[in-house]
Amino acid sequence: MNDLTKSESVSLLNLILPKESVVSVSEAITKAGAKGVFQISARGSVLNEGGFLQKMFPPTAAEQHLLQALVRDDAIEQVVDASVKAGNLTKVGAGAVFTIECNQALTSENFPADILGKDGHEIPSRTASEMEAICCICEKGIADDIANAALENGAPGPTVTFGEGGGVRDKIPMLRITKGPEKEFVWCVVEKSEADDVFAEMARAGRITEPGRGFMYSIPVSTGLINVSSTISSSAHGANMEQIISAIDEIKGGKDWRALVDESKSKALKTTFLENLVGLYCIIPRDQYSDVYDAILEAGAPGVSTNFGVMTDADEGEGAAKQNEEWALVYTSVGPNNVDSVRESVQKKIEELGIDRFAFYTLPIPRALTYLGG
């Protein structure tokens, strides 16, 4: 197999932005050192506590975009600062930026990213913050219930993205017919002190421990500034964590709901978590993602998820066709002892297909939850 550029001093930059600020922020972070910016369509969340008509005709969630890029640790601070300035992210409702420290990143020669330091050497890693990202992958149609559970438990502005997903069971023809591949992905970033409760209530709302309901996990966040917009009842409100909680106090008529979810029931989930997994991610041109998807399953991974988007960054001087080329982010979660074997199997398939632009990266997944059978 071909040698890849490898680094353990890379972070995944994540930006959640309203549509109107995507272009200006993309340009700013590219100038600051981010390359290969991957843009995924998303929507905001709606907390609807209104009457019958509001529930029958709920307000429309705000259109958003999730931007991601692999950024060297010696450049991440200036890239984050550029995004905050360009997107005015200190303003309530303006969006969010958070970074996740990768275990490792590997890129092909022609992939648009620069993951080594200026001198070609590794950069010391940074310390983690007191924040945690939670992602729930669920069947289409139940994301709003999960997002509402997160909102009601203090998570600021959950964001929903869209894609595909499947697992080993989907190889059985009957299940292929009866179960569609479309998935929704609910993202939120919360303080670690609140993460257990938010995770538990999202899992309950989505009934994640039941067969075929989905998969959810948490990832430690290195840095974060969260000012995501949410829609409450029939009015749009840009809200940070404290303002959302205050708004819910008003809707609920007091603060009793905070201590609630009834005192007879603990928020802690009485279930078995999957612990210390590794998320393995592959970025590849969209027209070739299906082969990678299948290769991951054939390598022994229990499931695969895919998000689609465009690569908004290209080297200056290249044609417009590459500026908005469609790409896919294909990923799975496996045990730490299986990461290299799965990645090498997928890389072998990629090279057999003659694909010369791709990247892998891995993220720590301290806990995950899904149906385990029995």
Domain count, the chain: 1
> Which pLDDT value is given to residue 53?
43
Please give the pLDDT value at position 114: 85
Render 327-351 in DSSP notation, one character per residue. Answer: EEEEEEEE-GGGHHHHHHHHHHHHH
CB neighbourhood size of 120 (10 A): 8
Q: Which two tokens stand for residue 365?
A: 């997944």
| pLDDT tens digits, 99-121 | 999 999 999 999 988 888 655 54
Structure tokens at 220: 């430690």
| Residue range 340-368, pLDDT digits in tens | 999 999 999 999 999 999 999 999 999 99
Helices 339-352 and 289-298 meet at what angle, rounded to 10?
140
User: End-to-end distance of the chain based on CA atoms, in angstroms?
Assistant: 41
pLDDT band of residue 123 (cuts 50, 70, 90) is very low
Task: Read off the amino acid at residue 259.
Answer: A
Whole-number mean pLDDT of the chain?
82
Strand-pairing partners, residue 205, are none
Task: Calculate the alpha carbon distances from 44 to 18, 118, 239 in Å.
Answer: 9, 37, 12
Kindly report, residue by residue over 254-311, the tens digit of the pLDDT: 656 555 544 444 566 777 899 999 999 999 999 989 999 999 999 999 899 999 999 8
Query: What is the structure's pLDDT at 129?
Result: 67
For the entire predicted model, the pTM comes to 0.83
pLDDT digits (tens, 9 = 90+) for 310-335: 987 545 444 444 567 899 999 999 99
Out of 47-56, 168-177, 280-289, the most confident range is 280-289
- Both tokens assigned to 10: 């890379």
Q: Which residue's structure tokens are 């009866």?
A: 178
Give just the sign of the alpha carbon dihedral 159, 112, 277, 211: positive
The burial of 183, by beta-carbon neighbours within 10 Å (0-12 exposed, 13-18 middle, 19 or more buried), is given as buried
Domain of residue 288 covers 5-370
Give the alpha-carbon dihedral of 329, 228, 75, 69, to 10 degrees.
10
Q: Which one, of 150, 158, 134, 132, lies nearest residue 230 by Cα?
A: 158
Q: What letter would DSSP give residue 2? A: -
What is the mean predicted confidence (pLDDT) over 231-240?
48
Cβ-count burial of 256 within 10 angstroms (0-12 exposed, 13-18 middle, 19+ buried)?
exposed
Whole-number Å distance between alpha carbons of 260 and 149: 13
DSSP states of 135-149: EEEEETT-HHHHHHH
Rounded Cα–Cα distance for residues 321 and 150 (Å): 39
